Structure 1
Amino acid sequence: MISILFGILISIVILEVIFRILPVRDSLLPLPVNSSNPVIRFTENRDVVWSQGPTFSIVTRKHVNNYGFLSNRDYFSSEDTPLLAIIGDSYVEAAQVANRDSLHGILSRQAENEGRVYSFGASGSPLSTYLAYANYARNEFNANAFVFIVVGNDFDESLIKYKSAPGFHYFSDTADGLKLIRKDYQPTLVKRLSRRSALIRYLAFNMNLSWRSIGTMFHNDADDADKMFVGNTRADADEVRISDSKRAVDRFLEELPVQSGVGKEKILFVVDGMRPHLYNPSALQEARGSYFDLMRNDFITKARNAGYEVVDMQPIFIDRHQAEGTRFEFLSDGHWNEAGHALVAETIKDSIVYQGLFAK
């Protein structure tokens, strides 16, 4: 028995050594989220490796700056040059591309002589958390204008009814309507220790293994297998989910001027397209009426009617793809690739909000 345990221990040690050599994904080491640190940030001043999948189909080396955001540029609250805050989820975190190739990395270099571009985002953040980031950028840095990246799962996941992961802000139903609440996060000792192991990180991050995923190996859920996804979110558009999501959009737009502290003329929304369906007319037609299709149109219409500038990336992606054959996501990951980030940055630079802030 002792020899068996010893053999297992030696095997684990050998695997740990091997995975320390390979580009296993590092943990970004999220900081606690509470009243003193109200938004998700990561352990500051670190260089990390981000990789995708068991075969490392994507490998990037990222820098976490002095404020705990993925940017090569440090942030300073004392600077008074014009500041554009770019807010979003994993599309702003942009782990799949080098910091300099992210949309905010590109814009930061281009605006260098006129002002600053700071990014605020973490994977999993929905519209409701964007409000908290806007408030943070306003209070900490006195941001002058904002760009919000809006993607497929931003709507329903704004409601604690649909998602309740710690570290984010959500809308919760109360007698007075939807109320913005913060769900605090405190990393456990076990989690902090396990993140030091390359073997455990490989299993958790690269292999995506969890107790839930292990459980699904032993049964065949036909309902899950048949689910279609559009815009990286479930395509099914049941009435309750749509109704709840529209309420979240309404509350977000109502609360945004308060949290951002700027006028509507200083806010730009960039709405993702239905990728990869938009590359093929018949596939795009099949995606019509999906959850993301309905919510994209609802959000764009309401935001424009409310007086905000909105860029719909769908026709822009389609035009560039038809002209050059470019695709804007990775084969192994649905997030924007370098071409996607570059085109979004180009589009933002041409916007009224950007030109108004950084006009020479």
Structure 2
Amino acid sequence: MKTRLKNLLFNLFLVFLSLVFSFIFIEKIVLKYFSPVTDIPRVIHIDGMTRYKPNQKGVYRLANEYSAPFSINKNGWNSHHKEYLVERNQKLRIAIIGDSYIAGLETGYKFAIPYLLEEGLGPDEVEVYAFGIGGAHLAQYLHIFREEVIRFNPDIVVFLIIHGDFAPSYRKVQMASGRYGGTFLTLSLLPGNSIKVVPPKPYNSFWDLLLDFRTIRFSFYQYKLRTKISYIKNFVLDRQYKMNVDAEGLRNNFNSDKIVADYVVKEIASIAEIKNINLIFAMNGDTQSIYESIPSIDPSLTLKLNAMMGEIVKNRGGDFIDLHETFKNDFEVNNIKFEFKTDGHWNPYGHMKATETILNAIKRVLKMRVSMN
């Protein structure tokens, strides 16, 4: 009996030793020299806000589909501007706020909306400051606008809204998305439809220690292991998702979404009026239904959010862009998809098409500003 137990323990030790050496070999040899692993920009909590750690550079990769450089500036945002200056110059200043679409890690900052806007308007006359971080939502956009963007005294502020921006702003079950999603400002919907602001929380840098391992970055980021597990889980539980949003949640929480969205836009608009800032809200289209000849889920579920957001923005004096029509019209002519195959983010073509529409809206606003002066 003792001999059998001894042999079992010895065999288990050999298995453990084999796993350790395999891990070291993969970590130190394979993923370093033969299969380069994605870099992940670290985040930090400064001045009450989670942002990227300043002055980082790296290459963001996803499977074999894209490889894009990122450059986090002195202020903690992915941008071709090395530093955002508080002092104004003679240029028109535009700020654009959003989540990972505006952070532009997937395409690289030179193929994302902020850079394309500046190039389209003329970098000698206009500067575009990007304030994007993955996982941000409506409530966090308000926080970024109030605590960060206002310091730079912009003339125009553009917000890019996606369908997944609503529920995480106030629904606890969806707030803590990703390793730092729980650090964002959130809202609490109280009886009587009043809103309570829940302050942001500091970021726990423990997670960054795990990112030092290439194996972790390769599995969870480069090949989206967590996302694939979620897909399997949702398939087993028969959960339907529309543009990365729970379809059932869209049906059940529409009124709450509207209350929260109106609060956020109202707060932003009140500050913008005092500061003489023009506001533009652009909202993503339902590209999933555009691609499907017979949509698997009723597109009116998501497009109802677009219509709701458009009504709220216009009632608060802002300009609204519905990118659904932009994408729908373009796909009918060119039949080119706007997202990466292995990732739901816009590819360079998607950014280019969205930029064209936003650019036209900015030009209309500029004409209005000139006529009023």
Instruction: Report the equivalent of 1:195.
Output: 211
Alignment of 1:181-192 (within 5 A): 181-189=198-206, 191-192=207-208
8 Å contact kept, 2:240–2:247: yes
> Equivalent of 1:140, from 130, 134, 151?
151
Q: CA deviation at 1:37?
A: 2.0
Instruction: Report the equivalent of 1:102.
Output: 112
Q: Does 1:66 align with 2:82?
A: no
Structure 1 stretch 258-267 or stretch 127-136: which is displaced more?
Answer: 258-267
Letter in 2 for 1:144: D
For 1:150 and 1:109, how far apart are their aligned partners in 2? Answer: 22
> Equivalent of 2:242, from 230, 248, 273?
230
> Equivalent of 2:349, from 316, 325, 339?
339
For 1:229 and 1:261, how far apart are their aligned partners in 2? Answer: 37
DSSP-derived class of the 2:208 partner = helix
DSSP-derived class of the 2:44 partner = coil
DSSP-derived class of the 2:311 partner = helix
8 Å contact kept, 2:269–2:279: no
Instruction: Report the equivalent of 1:323.
Output: 333
Q: Does 1:25 align with 2:38?
A: yes
Instruction: Report the equivalent of 1:204.
Output: 220
Amino-acid identity (%): 21
DSSP-derived class of the 2:116 partner = helix
8 Å contact kept, 2:112–2:348: yes
Instruction: Report the equivalent of 1:77.
Output: 86
For 1:106 and 1:222, how far apart are their aligned partners in 2? Answer: 38
Instruction: Report the equivalent of 2:4.
Output: none
Q: CA deviation at 1:213?
A: 7.6
Instruction: Report the equivalent of 1:179.
Output: 196
Change (3 A) 1:280 1:49: same
Letter in 2 for 1:328: F
For 2:70 and 2:305, how far apart are their aligned partners in 1? Answer: 32
**How big is the alpha-carbon RMSD for the aligned residues of Structure 1 and Structure 2?**
2.8
For 1:263 and 1:78, how far apart are their aligned partners in 2? Answer: 15
Change (3 A) 1:198 1:78: same
Q: CA deviation at 1:324?
A: 2.0
DSSP-derived class of the 1:70 partner = coil
Q: CA deviation at 1:139?
A: 3.6
> Equivalent of 1:86, from 77, 87, 96?
96
**Larger CA Rg, structure 1 vs 2:** 2
Structure 1 stretch 89-98 or stretch 349-358: which is displaced more?
Answer: 349-358
8 Å contact kept, 2:92–2:155: yes
Letter in 2 for 1:231: M
For 1:339 and 1:214, how far apart are their aligned partners in 2? Answer: 28
Count of paired positions: 347
For 1:207 and 1:305, how far apart are their aligned partners in 2? Answer: 43
Letter in 1 for 2:198: I
Alignment of 1:233-244 (within 5 A): 233-237=245-249, 240-244=252-256
DSSP-derived class of the 1:236 partner = helix
Larger RCO: Structure 1 or Structure 2 (Cα < 8 Å, ≥ 6 residues apart)? 1
DSSP-derived class of the 2:300 partner = coil
Cα distance per residue 1:38-84 (max 9 Å; x no partner): 222111222122122xx333222211112111112122222333211
Change (3 A) 1:183 1:164: farther
Letter in 2 for 1:128: A
8 Å contact kept, 1:349–1:355: no
8 Å contact kept, 2:94–2:155: yes
> Equivalent of 2:137, from 126, 130, 142?
126
8 Å contact kept, 1:83–1:145: yes
> Equivalent of 2:64, from 40, 52, 56?
56
Cα distance per residue 1:336-355 (max 9 Å; x no partner): 11111111111121112355
Cα distance per residue 1:5-53 (max 9 Å; x no partner): 4433221111012112323222211102xxx52222111222122122x
Q: Which runs of 5+ in 2 are unaligned?
A: 1-9, 177-181
Q: CA deviation at 1:124?
A: 1.1
Letter in 2 for 1:325: N
Structure 1 stretch 88-97 or stretch 258-267: which is displaced more?
Answer: 258-267
For 1:235 and 1:265, how far apart are their aligned partners in 2? Answer: 35
Letter in 1 for 2:54: E
Instruction: Report the equivalent of 1:268.
Output: 280
Q: Which has the higher helix share?
A: 2
* TM-score, reference length from structure 2: 0.83
Letter in 2 for 1:124: G
DSSP-derived class of the 2:174 partner = coil
Letter in 2 for 1:183: P
DSSP-derived class of the 2:105 partner = coil
Cα distance per residue 1:77-135 (max 9 Å; x no partner): 22333211100111111221021110101112333111210010111111111111111
